Amino acid sequence: MRQTFRYTMLTLSFALITYGLLAWQQINFSLTALTHFRTAELHPVLALILGLGLLTPTLAELIGAHRIDRETEERYETN
């Protein structure tokens, strides 16, 4: 279940990064409306920031879990 959650978070972060970049390109990479916080219209950079923020810890957990699994397998192979 944890592994499924990690891959779901990884997919979500890549989706947010992709959406942020494509939507930002549609407004010609403008930063003029970045500080206007309306519920109907958020700036695409915020989605980009959220996606990048989710990406780092998710990848760290995946790599850490893979390393622990590999160390456990090596212990069982030596015994």
- For residue range 30-78, what is the model confidence (pLDDT) as tens digits? 888 777 776 567 789 999 999 999 999 988 888 888 777 666 766 666 6
Q: Which structural domain range is residue 57 located in? A: 2-78
- Confidence tier at 79 by pLDDT (50, 70, 90): low
Total count of domains within the chain = 1
pLDDT at position 20 is 94
Q: Which residues contact 23 (CB under 8 A, 6 or more apart)?
A: 44, 47
pLDDT at position 66 is 75
SS3 31: coil
What would the pLDDT profile of 13-43 be if each residue is shown by its tens digit?
A: 999 999 999 999 998 988 887 777 765 677 8
Helix (H) or strand (E) holding 23: helix 2-26
Q: Which residues contact 48 (CB under 8 A, 6 or more apart)?
A: 16, 17, 20, 21, 24
| pTM of this structure | 0.76
